[in-house]
Amino acid sequence: MFSWLGKQGGGRERGGGADVVQTVTGGLRDLYLRKLLPLEEHYRFHEFHSPALEEADFENKPMVLLVGQYSTGKTTFIRYLLEQDFPGMRIGPEPTTDSFIAVMYGETEGNVPGNALVVDPKKPFRKLGRFGNAFLNRFMCSQLPNEVLKSISIIDSPGILSGEKQRISRGYDFCQVLQWFAERVDRIILLFDAHKLDISDEFSEAIKSFRGQDDKIRVVLNKADQVDTQQLMRVYGALMWSLGKVIDTPEVLRVYIGSFWAHPLRNTDNRRLFEAEAQDLFKDIQSLPQKAAVRKLNDLIKRARLAKVHAYIISYLKKEMPSVFGKENKKKELINKLPEIYIQLQREYHISAGDFPEVKKMQEQLENCDFTKFHSLKPKLIETVDNMLANKIASLMNLIRQEESNMPTEVVHGGAFDGTMAGPFGHGYGEGAKEGADEEEWVVARDKPAYDEIFYTLSPINGKISGISAKKEMVTSKLPNSVLGKIWKLADCDGDGMLDDEEFALAKHLIKIKLDGYELPGTLPSHLVPPSHRKPFQTAE
Q: Say how far apart CA 532 and CA 466 lie, in whole Å.
A: 19
Q: Which residue has the higher pLDDT, 438 or 301?
A: 301
**Final residue before a domain boundary, out of 287, 318, 349:** 287
Cα torsion 111, 116, 120, 126: sign: positive
Q: What does the buried/exposed string (b/e) look like for 356-390 if buried means 16 or more CB atoms within 10 Å of the residue's CB?
A: bbeeeebeeebeebebeebeeeeeebbebbeebbe
Rounded to 5 degrees, φ, ψ at 125 are -120, 10
**Final residue before a domain boundary, out of 341, 371, 406:** 406
Instruction: Name the residue among 196, 185, 177, 157 with its Cα closest to residue 67.
Output: 157
Look at the chain and report how many structural domains it folds into. 3
Is residue 501 domain-shared with residue 481, that is, in the same domain?
A: yes
Is residue 96 domain-shared with residue 183, that is, in the same domain?
A: yes
Is residue 447 domain-shared with residue 519, that is, in the same domain?
A: yes
Structural domain contains residue 292: no
Is residue 236 domain-shared with residue 176, that is, in the same domain?
A: yes
Structural domain contains residue 109: yes
Question: What is the end-to-end Cα distance of the chain in Å, rounded?
Answer: 42
In this prediction, residue 419 carries a pLDDT of 64
Least-confidence region, from 213-227, 262-276, 299-313, 462-476: 262-276
Is residue 401 domain-shared with residue 447, that is, in the same domain?
A: no
| pLDDT above 90 for 529 | yes
In this prediction, residue 14 carries a pLDDT of 39
Q: Say how far apart CA 463 and CA 456 lie, in whole Å.
A: 9
SS3 for 206-250 is HHHCCCCCHHHEEEEEECHHHCCHHHHHHHHHHHHHHHHHHCCCC
Q: Which DSSP category does 442 fall into?
A: -
Angle between helix 501-515 and 448-457 (nearest 10): 110
Rounded to 5 degrees, φ, ψ at 203 are -65, -40
Cα dist from 108 to 144, 236, 482, 496, whole Å: 6, 41, 56, 64
Structural domain contains residue 237: yes
Look at the pTM and tell me if it is higher than 0.85: no
Q: CB-based contacts of 324: which residues, under 8 Å, 6+ apart?
A: none
Instruction: Name the residue among 102, 93, 89 with its Cα closest to residue 72.
Output: 93
Rounded to 5 degrees, φ, ψ at 230 are -65, -45
| pLDDT above 50 for 335 | yes
pLDDT in tens, 264-282: 888 888 988 998 899 999 9
Contact 54, 127 (CB under 8 A): yes
In this prediction, residue 263 carries a pLDDT of 83
Query: What is the domain range of residue 175?
Result: 63-287
In this prediction, residue 392 carries a pLDDT of 87
Domain at 402, CATH number: 1.10.268.20
Structural domain contains residue 187: yes
Of the pLDDT bands very low, low, confident and very high (cuts 50, 70, 90), residue 11 is very low
Q: Which residue has the higher pLDDT, 399 or 189?
A: 189
Contact 62, 289 (CB under 8 A): yes
| pLDDT above 50 for 504 | yes
Mean pLDDT across 95-124: 89
| pLDDT above 90 for 436 | no
Domain at 504, CATH number: 1.10.238.10
Structural domain contains residue 427: no
Is residue 331 domain-shared with residue 468, that is, in the same domain?
A: no
Least-confidence region, from 18-32, 76-90, 307-321: 18-32
| pLDDT above 80 for 60 | yes
